[in-house]
Amino acid sequence: MRFRAKIVDGACLNHFTRISNMIAKLAKTCTLRISPDKLNFILCDKLANGGVSMWCELEQENFFNEFQMEGVSAENNEIYLELTSENLSRALKTAQNARALKIKLTNKHFPCLTVSVEMLSMSSSSRIVTHDIPIKVIPRKLWKDLQEPVVPDPDVSIYLPVLKTMKSVVEKMKNISNHLVIEANLDGELNLKIETELVCVTTHFKDLGNPPLASESTHQDRNMEHMAEVHIDIRKLLQFLAGQQVNPTKALCNIVNNKMVHFDLLHEDVSLQYFIPALS
């Protein structure tokens, strides 16, 4: 297996750093999947994270000036690595205003993702800062557990309000309860609701809009005002909202009634899917 990539464009480097910071806030450890045309950051740590899963996808050509990789085999031309997200984020923080960034797969007594940052210098000589990030190579037999999650047909799909506004609301609600109900309908209404023995608090968002449904016929008889709802751990929602480092051009919330909520964010050349299961 081989992997080597280079970024020299400053805007691409800053964008890649922001994505790395976002991943570090969403997942303590994650899987990095490297394929010829894409990079994916994956979290499917079902038991440890209560079923939360994440799938972040980047088109490599939108970030890297050079990109070379050889996977496990010609038929399985992919590489799966497990790493501590914060280690990558910390390494990339030194790359602000750098001249270039190189990432490659190395073996220094143990497998590493080596990040080399070429720093700008007042003199003609350049200074290179190198970070060796320990990784674990994931064997082929475990890849089947790290595929893109299948999204079940939602009962309601709705555009999200401004994520910063939503985050400030959820932060206040967290002080009252550990649980939260998200409910939405096909009339552009979304509610965030907490209920305790002492108090019931609901925040209403209206006129958010609903995307066109994949199969209109199955929903023709639906009551547009009927609410689909899911009861979730408020800390998992706040972790998702607090992790956002890029302003998405499209932000969707898909609710599978009493089963899960699926967030789908798109920002130019990056897509993020985040799944939070319902509380049993």
Task: Reply yes or no on whether the pLDDT at 219 is more than 70.
Answer: no
Backbone Cα Rg of the chain: 21
Q: What ranges in the chain are assigned the alpha helix state H?
A: 10-26, 85-93, 163-174, 234-242
Confidence of residue 98 (pLDDT cuts 50, 70, 90): confident
pTM check: above 0.95: no
Using one digit for the tens of pLDDT, what is the confidence trace for 101-156?
A: 999 999 988 999 999 998 877 666 778 889 999 999 999 999 998 988 888 899 99
Residue 217 scores a pLDDT above 50 = no
Least confident of 64-68, 95-99, 271-275: 95-99
Sorted by where each starts, the structural domains of the chain and their CATH numbers stand as 2-145 (3.70.10.10), 156-277 (3.70.10.10)
- For 43, list phi and psi in degrees, rounded to 5: -130, 120
The average pLDDT across 212-226 equals 65
Which residue in 149, 150, 262, 277 sits closest to 211, CA to CA?
Answer: 262
State which amino acid sits at residue 223: N
* C-alpha separations of 173 from 72, 168, 227 in Å: 47, 9, 21
Nearest CA to 53 among 238, 247, 193, 260? 260
| Confidence at residue 240, expressed as pLDDT on a 0 to 100 scale | 92
